[in-house]
Amino acid sequence: MAKGYVEKVESEYQRNGTQCLIASKDIKTGKIAEYSIGQTRTELDYLTHIQNIVKTNPKEKTVIFCDQLNTHKSETLVYWIAQTIRYVGELGIKGKEGILKSQETRQAFLEDESHKIRFLYTPKHCSWINQIENWFGILQRKVIRRGNFTSTQDLEQKIIDFIIYYNKCLAKPCRWKSKCEKIIMSFRV
């Protein structure tokens, strides 16, 4: 590196593994309400994440705003929501009939306004309206980009440290015009 020259980046590096982060932001406080860091981002990982969100205040109505990822409309999620809200009725069979027939039918069930736990989905290619997307951009700029991580544990710890710092120093409420008590922005990376 020398004065007057563009910064150069070494193209050779050792990859020490990856981590999957599922994060949710409470727009009333602006804080990261829940996060999960692990090796995978399956429908079970996402379901566990949603269960943890609901567990924080099970009597509150919760709206989860997320993108169109298939794990956000999974059969497992529908079964859990149906059980949690004490849904009475047939769910059908995945790929054949009823609520479980397709992603569209599962999405319609999960978006039902009468449910205590409700999902809202961004239109395709519009996930930028989801506030957690903005937070992931901040995480990318402040922690990930040009980061040097010696292991997956090191990466995980730096992400956790940033979440703690963000919640303490940078989080700001979002003005959201909705009548529900709790709205969670959810996403995975």
CA–CA separation, 60 vs 7, rounded Å?
A: 51
Backbone CA torsion sign across 33, 37, 46, 71? positive
Asked whether the predicted pLDDT for residue 49 surpasses 50, the reply is yes
- pTM, two decimals, is 0.82
| Over residues 74-91, mean pLDDT | 96
DSSP state, residue 175: -
pLDDT at position 16 is 73
pLDDT at position 162 is 97
pLDDT at position 188 is 44
Asked whether the predicted pLDDT for residue 147 surpasses 60, the reply is yes
pLDDT at position 57 is 83
CA–CA separation, 136 vs 3, rounded Å?
A: 32
pLDDT at position 189 is 40
| Over residues 129-158, mean pLDDT | 89
Q: Residue 38 — pLDDT band, cuts 50, 70, 90?
A: very high
Q: Name the residue among 130, 85, 78 with its Cα closest to residue 104.
A: 78
Q: Name the residue among 145, 150, 183, 143 with its Cα closest to residue 29.
A: 183
pLDDT at position 132 is 85
pLDDT at position 164 is 98
CA–CA separation, 21 vs 60, rounded Å?
A: 25
Q: Which two tokens stand for residue 136?
A: 């992931």
- Specify the residue for token string 């703690």: 164
Asked whether the predicted pLDDT for residue 182 surpasses 60, the reply is no
pLDDT at position 148 is 85
Higher pLDDT, 127 or 184: 127
Asked whether the predicted pLDDT for residue 178 surpasses 60, the reply is no
Q: Residue 10 — pLDDT band, cuts 50, 70, 90?
A: low
Higher pLDDT, 10 or 159: 159
CB 33 within 8 A of CB 56: yes
